[in-house]
């Protein structure tokens, strides 16, 4: 769907004692290119550090924009990693510059870092009250940000009051002997914080809990402690990005107590209810639409069959200028398992259609290889609006749902039929089990009350932004 | 299973007129690293060329071993691309050296090239009879090789009499306008030859036919012509590498008239007959075992469910020295979809087990994430013997089937049970549809008689090599 | 002597209209590695730009420290390139941080840039008075800095009141036709500013004049205009770095109206007066000591003869752990022209001796190749003190003049004798023609009076720093 | 003058025991790029090895052409390094190909290697008589080649009967302790062979002797032994390349008993006799013409003064399309020491003029910087003819001596006068001390008689080639 190649990465570590002794390594490109044995060795000064991987978003791709940002303040160095995009960045930049701060990048992350350094009152400011500074920052800007702020031996994990971007905590499990046996699992070896829980297993950690919307969590070697929860304006529901479920997150990630894979399968099931079709088999555009396809197939009672196999070693596919080249590109990316569908009526589940440039040659390929009918079912609603909260969505003009072709989409992409999941269907697929759990679990009451009313940001689908946008 | 990363690549093109004017570009590494716009532009002198991609096999990894090999002979330059490994290479090398030829590499491909240059009679040899030279070569060495030999404007495609390595021909389809419309599809734009048919679609070609065992095909701009078919010794069956079906080939490739995917699904079905198990769901180690898993699930009547999702951007996984690191490595490569199998009895279909180093931590991961039972079914027989015909198989000592742990394999890898497909089961899965077709299709009679008795090389599974090995 | 390999480079260009539209390209390494055709094309938006090359100095070698620094201020972006080191940097950093500015690097150049952004009064500051800001900066810090500050279509060139670091202006000569003919040479095509005049010829410019100590020069497309000259404290002489003459500058550079080569030759002549020796020939350690050697030879009346030839393609020489490896390293760097000095008494002129690790194996090599006597004459006084004004001098302990071996230096390095130039001899060699010119040229009176009393910084030789150092 | 950048390098080492165990490392580019600590470690299997550095010559620049060549023969592997170019290569290639050997490169070095492998009689050839094979090779081709041939624990050093290319032997001096003291210098640690003696000092060796024209030397761990001296045809003088003296060799190299520097200085002296000029000072185009300039200045009694200083860090200079860019390029490469020659009449000694593209802008630069007159004296005769013996000389059309401009060269390059050294002057400068030595030293008689009549190849100057050229 969207370009998701990491374009920069950085790690800052602290020795936990001196407020000056940060080790920093950042670079452009894939993580494996940025870090090697040497740079990792250089960084290894303690068990304390924060990192950041940047994907294509609105910031200009330059090394200078690489996170984490490190600045020296009157109270020592702080390092800040930020995920999100401030809806009032322009006003805040002007405010800082009026105060005499020169800003060296266009990134919101530098802005946040300087706001933390700057936050008044600064006269007679001989102690650094970082929590006050963080709350000050949160009062200046409502959304969207998940933050990690490191100072000496403390990491502060912060989620904006709307909870727009994810952030969760994992617990490092004791290793025991080299075969994983021994040691008591109930002990805690340390803590990790991440946007996505899926990364925990691979570093020997287990999912502990989410940082709540508005919550400021203090993480030290042995302790995870809630310092405060900054509330939203009265009546505003939370606004976790629904697009994380639909597209960005890995299927094995957990948000709001549910596995992304399960949400996607429910979307497929819901789609089967909303848009059934008489066909012989259900298949997927591998791999991201597979959970929805399995859900659709199961709900319909049709067999799930593979019609395309993904080719290894295919590099990034670029937008090709004509149908012929697009078709060759698709045939390079996917192998066609023609014996599996020759003479059959095929339902293809895709997770989204942005420009139609991929699905269209796939349909042509399937027909030429013998498919009798090709029906497209999209397991998410059409994207129509820009995101100002950190997701790099194509321009309004590029989105197929805003183009004239959309009125006769099946014909345009060459399908026998095409139906999208409704917004309501998506929201209910996402919220169904959250609501069920809220009702059944009394024990969650406290947290629920602190987290406030549950909602989701559907701005890219509906144009309803969780806060008023400032320019 | 085996290391399959391309380690070198090369292309040689001919302007089709001068016998001296080859353009050569070769390099180590992935194709995308070896070739760029500049090198491709340099190579583009005509529509005639041969290329080669080398994966890890027995030859020493040095640029000098990169194919295609080009040598100047009395009759102009020839370029040779070779897939396979000669079973009597040592004797042939000695023969050439005794004749006074210095060999600059350890590769069979140089050996073949020099044999073509050398083949007597050379006195009064003023015309180059390349077919005679190729037949001479084929008489010197029975297997295994698929060859492309380019001279001026002709490419000779050759498969050894046993047909051990694959080779097939594709037909370039006329393009028409840029959206693929127009032009008459019955015309032929040109010909392409490849080890695997799966590559044809992505270059705008369609599958035409296989080169038969022993066949010498002459390919020119407008024509594909059989020059001769060199027979095997009386009574010897053909010996196409069964491992191509099991592991090497892409699932959308076609060998001997059948799609590899279909063979793999039949292996899964056969495995379900040979080794059923009482369980709640069937799953796969993505992605290569998925066709077998779907076949197994269907035959058993159990639901097919995903338990692991493959993580993008994971580099090569190296052999880790202990269980703990192996488990972290597996958790980095695969996400665990725990909600899909918590409390369930799981059957995992794998395509093969070489060392047990991957399946073992997967099983542990599934158990720790809530699987009640984990049964392993392997959709191929255990590998026990070395291959001397071009496949880079681990040493006999490394193969798990030759180790003491094999006697209690389920316990060793931590599974509730583990069963392999039988050799007979594999052979019947492979030959079932070939035989059916042979019987039903009278039109194939001629070809069949020329191709001789159908067999497959199962040497790595049974130790029965198709020809006697020479040292 | 000292490590002089460029370690980073950067260029910022302005389109001269928008205060936002800077193009920036920076990188680590040699200029040729940092810039290529693509990056230069990207930068080419107008004829306006500033650049910076960084050699090893006290700042940490990281991309973040690369100059020019660009920050956005309330009045648009400024880009700043800086040569030098602030003697009161620690106090100024603290002042800025107390004001709430987070500093992201340890470099004085960021400090200067933020001071320019910050300089109060900022309330109701709706117009940007950059000259006031620059003067404010100059009042905050006395030395050492030469600055280029770019804002929209203006570049400000600034030298600190002591004139410690060089800065001079060149005039672009009209090109005429492609063979340099045509066009009137009296026109001016534009202006260039550089630390060293030697670079002008190679870009088609000619030397125009130096920026004076304390001078603020405004450079626009058609005009070079002095805005102000900030004076030194009453009675303080100027303090141009004498080391530029001795070692750093290229021999064809012009400082204070004299060619560096001429100063070096005068040093050789002065050395011949101070430390003559009975010998057969005078030679040099090529290439930096050659002017002094020719001066020495001429003054003594001895023949100038080459005894060593420099080997091309020798990479950086590293400090070798023992005499044997040092000698092999020297023999790799220099060829020995033994026939030129066999049986002769040789005087070798070197420009300086830092550790003695180079001259010592050279002497050994000359003796082994037949030199009867080897006398060393050093065309500068011994370095004894650290520099806090931008020159990266080895630690006090490493400097040979501070080590016990210095008391018996000839013996330590294996020479028959060794004598250094006196500080007075160096100062008089440097100032001789400046004073002569000041006396003779009445036309210079104005400038002279504005520049104040002429002096030179000899801190690394004498420990007398031009200003009090702050910590 | 000519492009002299190394374009490939290679080393082959032998463990001295097995005839199979060569270690090979080759690559394109500068030696420092080709070899690093890892590759050198890999190569270090014994004290036995041969290497090769290739500069731009007639062979196509591809890795495949990199030397040393290694081939496996019936009697084990041999590695061959070759300097030179065979005058009858075309006939020899055809001969080998007729025998059935495919040649994979266009290089003479592969040809030589295959000729050594091939040399009959091969029937019943159970012992490898390498000397017979080498002599056979020498009978097949008269010139030009210097060879190193390694087999097991022996290296054969061979120079062609005309001695066209250099080859000399050095003796490794015992190291003693790490400061070079101790051990008896009369022992021998081992032997090294090189084209140029200048490399010996830097690896701890001393010059031992030249390999004579036609000589086959066997070098083992402890011994240097002449196996045979293959004579030239009756009456042919030797033909060492005179261009090595003029341009290629390093000034500290020794050929035929004399230092190259001394020959060049004599050329300058001879030039002063042949072409004196009334002037104020003599200077050089640094650095290669400096010995000739010092010789010229001394002979004339004029002062030697530097007018240009070479700029460090200037990359390769490319041929620029117009005078303006050439002049900027020259001004980038050289600094102009204008104070040294303002108002003076300057004689510039250059070592050669190939196209006039460098000297012409230098003259313009000197004039613009104040030179009153600029006279050019070239310390070698004009090159007029191609070299077929290994030197990469520009095409006849590019050589200035073959162009119409040559008739009015002073005017073309903008000089007040220009004079070349005569061929006779060059030959006498080269042979003067050789002849003197031959006459005085009776002890050399034996060697002299074996080496035959002394001559030099002046083909590029006179068109008189030492042997008839075959096509």
D350 marked among binding-site residues: yes
Grade residue C59 by pLDDT with cuts at 50, 70 and 90. very low
* Structure letter (DSSP) for residue B367: H
Region A331-360 average pLDDT: 91
- DSSP per-residue letters across C145-170: EEEEEEETTEEEEEE-TT--S--EEE
Query: Which of B65, B103, B104 to substitute to test the interface with D, most D CBs within 10 Å?
Result: B104
Say what the pLDDT of residue D257 is. 92
Distance CA C48, CA C452 (A): 32
Distance of CA A334 to the CA centre of its chain: 26
- pLDDT the model gives residue D451: 56
Which pLDDT does position D57 carry in this prediction? Answer: 45
Topology (CATH) of D6-167+211-234: 3.60.20
In sequence order, what are the beta bridge partners of C148? C81, C157
Chains D, A in contact: 3+ Cβ pairs under 8 A?
no
What are the structure tokens assigned to A8, written together?
Answer: 């920069």
* Subunits in contact with chain A (3 or more CB pairs closer than 8 Å): B, C
The answer to whether residue A415 scores a pLDDT higher than 50 is yes
Class of domain C265-424: alpha beta
∠ Cα D170 D172 D178 (to 5°): 145
Query: Could you read off the pLDDT of B303-321 as tens digits, one per residue?
Result: 999 999 988 655 544 556 6
Whole-number Cα distances in Å, D310 to A83, C206, D335 = 52, 19, 6
Of A98, A102, A119, the CB nearest to C72: A102
For residue D122, the chain B residues in CB contact (below 8 A) are: 98-100
Cβ pair B100:D99 closer than 8 A: yes
What residues contact A416, with CB distance under 8 A and at least 6 apart?
Answer: A373, A374, A375, A410
D21 CB burial (10 A radius; 0-12, 13-18, 19+): middle
User: Which residues on D lie below 8 Å from B97 (Cβ)?
Assistant: 72-74, 117
Percent of chain D with pLDDT over 70: 85
| pLDDT (average), residues B201-220 | 91
Cβ contact (<8 Å) for B337 and A259? yes
Cβ contact C338:C324 at 8 Å: no
Average pLDDT over residues A106-121: 85
Tell me, what's the pLDDT at B1?
Answer: 34
Please name the fold of domain D258-424.
Answer: Rossmann fold (3.40.50)
pLDDT band at residue B450 under the 50/70/90 scheme: low
Pairs of residues, one from chain A and one from chain C, whose beta carbons lie less than 8 Å apart:
78
**Alpha-carbon gap, residue A352 to A379, rounded angstroms:** 7
- Residue D391's contacts (CB-CB under 8 Å, 6 or more residues apart) are D2, D57, D241, D243, D248, D460
Chains in touch with D (≥3 Cβ pairs < 8 A): B, C
**In this complex, which of C287, C309, C331 lies closest to D202 when CB atoms are compared?**
C331
**A268/A421 Cα distance (integer angstroms):** 9
A6-161+227-236 is a CATH 3.30.200.210 domain: no
- Residues D97, B73: C-beta atoms closer than 8 Å: yes
Report the SS3 class of residue B295. Answer: helix
Q: Do the Cβ atoms of B82 and B108 come closer than 8 Å?
A: yes
CA–CA min distance A158, chain B (Å): 26
CATH level 3 topology of B6-166+211-236? 3.60.20
Confidence of residue A18 (pLDDT cuts 50, 70, 90): confident
Domain positions in chain B are 6-166+211-236, 168-208, 261-424
Least reliable range by pLDDT among A318-327, A395-404, C138-147, D445-454: D445-454
Residue range A454-464: average pLDDT? 94
Q: Was B288 annotated as part of a binding site?
A: yes
For residue D199, the model assigns a pLDDT of 81
Cα-flanking dihedrals φ and ψ of residue A463, to 5°? 80, 5
Whether the per-residue pLDDT at A197 is higher than 60: the answer is: yes
CB-CB contact of D108 with D84 (8 Å): yes
pLDDT tens for residues B230-265?
Answer: 999 988 999 999 999 998 899 999 999 999 999 999
C226 to chain D, closest Cα gap in Å: 28
Nearest to B100 among D78, D97, D120 (CB): D120
Q: Is the peptide bond before C303 cis (omega within 30 degrees of 0)?
A: no
Token pair 């392993």 in the structure block, residue: B376
pLDDT at D60: 45
Judging contacts by C-beta atoms under 8 Å, the chain A residues touching residue B255 are: none
Min mean pLDDT across A152-156, B444-448, C183-187, C350-354 is at: B444-448
Q: What is the CATH number of domain B261-424?
A: 3.40.50.2020
- CB contacts, 8 Å: A65 with chain C: none
How far CA C411 is from CA of A32, A322, C360, C399, C470, in Å, comes to 54, 80, 10, 17, 40
Q: What is the DSSP letter of A103?
A: B
Task: Round to whole Å and give the CA distance between B282 and B298.
Answer: 9
Mean pLDDT of chain C: 85
Q: Which residues of B touch D125 (CB under 8 A)?
A: 98
Token representation of residue D52: 């090769």
Percent of chain A's residues with pLDDT above 70? 85
Residue D7: predicted pLDDT: 65
Q: Residue B373 above 60 pLDDT?
A: yes
Please list the residues that pair with A76 across neighbouring strands: A73
Query: Which of A70, A98, A117 lies at the smallest CB-CB distance from C100?
Result: A117
Query: Does C104 contact A78 at a Cβ distance shorter than 8 Å?
Result: no
CB D242 within 8 A of CB D464: no
What is residue A152's predicted lDDT score, i.e. its pLDDT? 87
**Does C122 contact A103 at a Cβ distance shorter than 8 Å?**
no
Residue B183 — left, alpha, or beta (φ > 0 → left; ψ -120 to 50 → alpha)? left
Distance separating alpha carbons of residues C79 and C139, to the nearest angstrom: 20
Give the pLDDT mean for C209-238.
93
For chain D, which residues score pLDDT lower than 50? 1-5, 57-61, 122, 178, 316-317
Residues of chain C contacting residue D179, judged by C-beta atoms under 8 Å apart: 322-324
CB contact under 8 A, B178 and A291: no
pLDDT of residue A172: 86
| Residue-wise pLDDT tens digits, B139-188 | 999 999 999 999 988 999 999 999 999 999 998 887 665 455 555 555 66
ipTM of model over 0.95: no
User: What pLDDT score does B335 carry?
Assistant: 92
Q: Which pLDDT does position A394 carry in this prediction?
A: 74
Name the residue among C48, C26, C36, C1 with its Cα closest to residue C152.
C48
Residue A3 reports pLDDT greater than 50: no
C251 contacts on D by Cβ (under 8 Å)? 309, 335, 337
Q: What DSSP designation does B102 have?
A: P
Disruptive mutation site among A23, A73, A101 for chain C (greatest number of C CBs within 10 Å): A101
Question: Using a CB-CB distance cutoff of 8 angstroms, which residues of chain A are in contact with residue B328?
Answer: 202-204
Size of interface C-D (CB pairs under 8 A): 120
> What are the distances in angstroms from CA C87 to CA A11, A20, A261, C204, C390?
32, 21, 61, 36, 10
- Picking from B36, B174, B178, B180 by the largest number of A CB atoms within 10 A of its own CB, the best residue to mutate is B180
Q: Which of A63, A97, A114 sits opposite C102 (nearest CB)?
A: A114
Note the Cα D360 to chain centre separation in Å: 27
Beta bridge partners of B82: B147
Give the model's confidence band at B58: pLDDT under 50 very low, under 70 low, under 90 confident, else very high: very low
D166/D244 Cα distance (integer angstroms): 9
Q: Which residue on chain C is closest to A71 by alpha carbon?
A: C104
Cβ–Cβ contacts within 10 Å for residue D182, how many? 10
**Per-residue pLDDT tens digits for B84-124:** 999 999 999 999 998 889 998 888 989 999 999 986 654 55
> Is C6-167+211-236 CATH 3.20.20.450?
no
Rounded to the nearest angstrom, the minimum Cα separation between B296 and chain A is 13
- Give yes or no for a contact between D82 and D51, defined as CB atoms under 8 angstroms apart: no
pLDDT band at C196 (very low <50, low <70, confident <90, very high): confident
* Count of other CB atoms within 10 angstroms of residue B220: 14
Binned at pLDDT 50, 70 and 90, residue B60 comes out as very low
**pTM listed for this prediction:** 0.81
Residue C442 pLDDT grade (very low, low, confident, very high; cuts 50, 70, 90): low
Cβ of B97 within 8 Å of Cβ of D70? The answer is no
Which of D261, D332, D364 lies closest to C202 in CB terms?
A: D332
Partners of D70 on chain B (C-beta within 8 Å) are 104
Residue C214 makes CB contacts below 8 A (sequence gap 6+) with C138, C159, C160, C161, C163, C229, C230, C231, C232
pLDDT at D275: 97
Q: Please report, rounded to a whole number, the percentage of residues in chain B having pLDDT higher than 70.
A: 85
Instruction: Tell me what the pLDDT averaged over chain B comes to.
Output: 85
* pLDDT in the model for residue A55: 63
User: Which of D24, D110, D118 lies closest to B100 in CB terms?
Assistant: D118
Residue range C125-152, pLDDT digits in tens: 556 788 999 999 999 999 999 999 999 8
As a CATH number, domain A259-424 is: 3.40.50.2020
Question: What pLDDT is attached to residue D353?
Answer: 86
What distance in Å separates the CA atoms of residue C175 and residue D169, rounded to the nearest whole number?
A: 55
Which pLDDT belongs to residue D2? 38
């Amino acid at each position: 769907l969207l370009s998701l190649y990491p374009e920069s990465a950085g790690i800052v570590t602290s020795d936990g004692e001196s407020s000056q002794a940060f080790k920093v390594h950042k670079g452009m490109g894939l993580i494996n290119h940025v870090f090697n044995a040497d740079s990792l060795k250089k960084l290894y000064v303690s068990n304390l550090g924060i990192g950041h991987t940047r994907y294509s978003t609105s910031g200009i791709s330059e090394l200078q924009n690489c996170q984490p940002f490190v600045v020296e303040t009157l109270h020592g160095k702080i390092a800040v990693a930020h995920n999100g995009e401030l809806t009032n960045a322009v006003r805040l930049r002007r405010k800082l510059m009026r105060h005499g701060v020169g800003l060296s990048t266009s990134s919101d992350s530098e802005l946040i870092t300087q706001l933390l350094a700057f936050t008044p009152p600064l006269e007679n400011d001989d102690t650094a009250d970082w929590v006050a500074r963080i709350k000050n920052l949160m009062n200046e800007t409502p959304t969207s940000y998940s933050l990690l702020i490191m100072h000496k031996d403390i990491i502060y994990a912060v989620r904006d009051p709307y909870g727009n971007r994810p952030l969760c905590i994992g617990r490092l499990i004791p290793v025991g002997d080299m075969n994983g046996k021994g040691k008591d699992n109930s002990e805690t070896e340390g803590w990790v914080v991440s946007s996505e829980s899926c990364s925990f297993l691979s570093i020997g950690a287990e999912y502990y809990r989410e940082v709540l919307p508005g919550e400021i969590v203090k993480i030290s070697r042995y302790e995870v402690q809630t310092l405060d929860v900054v509330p939203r304006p009265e009546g505003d529901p939370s606004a976790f990005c629904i697009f994380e479920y639909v597209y960005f997150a890995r299927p094995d990630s957990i948000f709001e107590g549910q596995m992304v894979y399960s949400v996607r399968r429910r979307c497929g099931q819901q789609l089967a209810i909303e848009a059934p079709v008489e066909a012989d088999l259900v298949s997927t555009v591998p791999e991201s639409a597979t959970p929805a396809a399995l859900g659709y197939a199961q709900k319909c009672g049709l067999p799930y069959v593979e019609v395309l196999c993904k080719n290894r070693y295919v590099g990034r596919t670029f937008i090709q200028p004509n149908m012929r080249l697009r078709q060759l590109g698709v045939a390079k990316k996917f192998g066609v398992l023609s014996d599996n569908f020759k003479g059959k009526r095929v339902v293809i589940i895709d997770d989204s259609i942005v420009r139609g440039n991929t699905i269209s040659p796939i349909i042509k390929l399937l027909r030429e290889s013998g498919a009798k009918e090709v029906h497209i079912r999209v397991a998410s609603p059409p994207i129509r609006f820009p995101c100002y909260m950190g997701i790099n969505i194509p321009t309004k003009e590029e989105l197929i749902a805003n183009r004239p072709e959309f009125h006769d989409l099946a014909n345009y992409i060459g399908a026998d039929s095409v139906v999208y999941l409704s917004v309501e269907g998506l929201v209910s697929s996402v919220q169904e089990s959250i609501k069920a759990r809220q009702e059944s679990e009394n024990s969650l009451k406290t947290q629920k009350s602190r987290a406030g009313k549950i909602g989701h940001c559907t701005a890219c689908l509906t144009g309803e932004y969780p806060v008023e946008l400032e320019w």
